[in-house]
C-alpha cells in the first residue's frame, strides 16, 4: 500500500467517524426535510427507473425516489446513517437497497443507472474530480444527473467559512465542499460528458431555530463537521467561546425575523452525453 493510499484510507475513516457523530438524521429530518423531495421532483423519477443516490445519508432523497416507484440504491460512506435510513424507509413503506460505498470509487458497472443523484452529499467527498467522474461513469447515456449542493455564499457555505479559522488544516488535495454549489466549478468537473445542463440557485426556508443560540447548540451537538471542529479545539476555552459567538453571529446575520432563515443551494440537473 502506497503512502498516498494509506493517507486516503485514514482520511475516509475520519470522514466516516465525523458523519457518524452527532445526529445527522435530525438535521435531515427536522431542518432540511423538503430538500430531497425537491431533487426528486426536478429529476421526474418514474416507476421502474434504476436510481442511484450517492452519499445518501439517511435517505432524504432516496426514500422519496423509492416512493415515486424508482428502483433505488442508496449508498453512503457511513453505515450508521444507512441503518437509520433503512428504519425510516420501512416506517414509510419505501422499498430500496442500502449499500456502503465511497463516492470516489463506486462499486457499480459503467452505465448501470438511469438516474444518479446526490442531495448535499457528494459535495462532502474530498476529491471533487474523482467523485464527478464516478457520478458520470455509472450513469447510462441519456440518463439524468441531479445534484443539490450548498452554495459558498449561502448560509451553510458561510458556516464552513466561520468554522475554517478554528479547524485543522485540510489534507493536501482535499477541496472545500461548498465549491459544489458553484455552477462553474461543477460544469468544469463534468465537462462535455453531460448535456442539457440546468442550474439555478434556490432558497430553502428554515424555521426551526427560534433564536441564534438554538442554531448554535443544535449544530454543535448534531452536525458532524461542526462537532469535529469543536473536538479539535480540545479544552481551549477561549477558542471554544470565540467559535460559539461566531456561530451565534452567523445565525443572527441570516435571521429574517422570528427565527426564519433562508439557506441557498444550487440545483443542477443534466443528461449524460
> Cell numbers of 273, please?
452525453
- The rounded distance, in Å, linking the Cα atoms of 36 and 27 is 12
DSSP 28: I
Q: What does the pLDDT read at residue 2?
A: 56
CA torsion sign for 208, 212, 217, 223 is positive
179-194: pLDDT as tens digits: 999 999 999 999 999 9
- Report, in angstroms and rounded to the nearest whole number, the Rg of the chain calculated over CA atoms: 18
> Cell numbers of 19, please?
458523519
- The rounded distance, in Å, linking the Cα atoms of 20 and 224 is 7
Residues 6+ apart with CB under 8 A from 148: 35, 36, 38, 39, 61, 118, 119, 120, 265, 266, 267, 268
- The rounded distance, in Å, linking the Cα atoms of 152 and 258 is 25
Residues 6+ apart with CB under 8 A from 87: none
Q: What does the pLDDT read at residue 1?
A: 47
Say if domain 3-206+264-272 classifies as CATH 3.30.2320.80.
no
Q: What does the pLDDT read at residue 7?
A: 67
Q: Strands of the chain (E only): list them.
A: 50-53, 71-76, 97-100, 113-119, 139-150, 194-206, 261-272
Residues 6+ apart with CB under 8 A from 181: 123, 149, 150, 151, 152, 154, 157, 264, 265, 266
DSSP 105: B
* Residue in this structure with the C-alpha cell 476555552, named with its chain if needed: 237
Mean pLDDT (10-residue bins), the chain, 273 residues? 66 95 96 97 98 98 98 98 98 98 98 98 98 98 98 98 96 94 98 98 97 98 98 98 98 95 98 98
Mean pLDDT, the chain, whole residue set: 96
Burial per residue of 16-52, b for 16 or more beta-carbon CB atoms within 10 angstroms, e otherwise: bebbebbbbbebbeebbeebbbbbbebbebeeebebb
Nearest alpha carbon to residue 272 among 102, 123, 122, 113: 113
Amino acid at each position: 500500500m502506497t503512502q498516498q493510499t494509506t493517507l486516503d484510507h485514514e482520511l475516509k475513516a475520519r470522514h466516516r467517524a465525523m458523519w457518524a457523530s452527532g445526529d445527522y438524521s435530525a438535521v435531515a429530518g427536522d431542518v432540511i426535510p423538503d430538500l430531497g423531495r425537491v431533487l426528486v421532483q426536478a429529476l421526474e423519477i418514474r416507476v421502474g427507473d434504476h436510481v442511484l443516490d450517492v452519499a445518501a445519508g439517511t435517505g432524504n432523497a432516496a426514500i422519496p425516489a423509492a416512493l415515486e416507484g424508482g428502483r433505488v440504491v442508496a449508498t453512503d460512506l457511513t453505515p450508521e446513517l444507512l441503518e437509520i435510513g433503512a428504519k425510516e424507509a420501512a416506517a414509510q413503506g419505501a422499498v430500496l437497497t442500502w449499500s456502503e460505498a465511497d463516492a470516489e470509487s463506486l462499486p457499480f458497472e459503467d452505465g448501470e443507472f438511469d438516474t444518479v443523484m446526490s442531495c448535499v452529499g457528494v459535495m462532502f467527498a474530498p476529491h471533487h474530480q474523482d467523485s464527478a467522474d464516478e457520478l458520470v461513469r455509472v450513469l447510462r447515456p441519456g440518463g439524468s444527473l441531479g445534484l443539490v449542493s450548498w452554495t459558498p455564499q449561502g448560509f451553510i457555505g458561510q458556516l464552513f467559512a466561520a468554522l475554517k479559522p478554528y479547524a485543522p488544516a485540510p489534507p493536501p488535495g482535499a477541496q472545500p465542499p461548498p465549491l459544489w454549489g458553484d455552477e462553474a466549478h461543477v460544469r468544469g468537473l463534468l465537462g462535455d460528458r453531460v448535456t442539457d445542463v440546468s442550474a439555478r440557485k434556490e432558497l430553502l426556508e428554515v424555521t426551526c431555530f427560534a433564536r441564534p443560540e438554538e442554531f448554535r447548540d443544535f449544530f454543535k451537538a448534531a452536525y458532524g463537521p461542526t462537532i469535529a471542529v469543536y473536538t479539535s479545539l480540545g479544552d481551549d476555552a477561549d477558542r471554544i467561546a470565540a467559535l460559539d459567538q461566531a456561530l451565534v453571529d452567523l445565525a443572527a446575520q441570516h435571521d429574517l425575523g422570528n427565527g426564519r432563515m433562508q439557506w441557498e443551494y444550487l440545483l443542477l440537473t443534466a443528461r449524460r452525453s
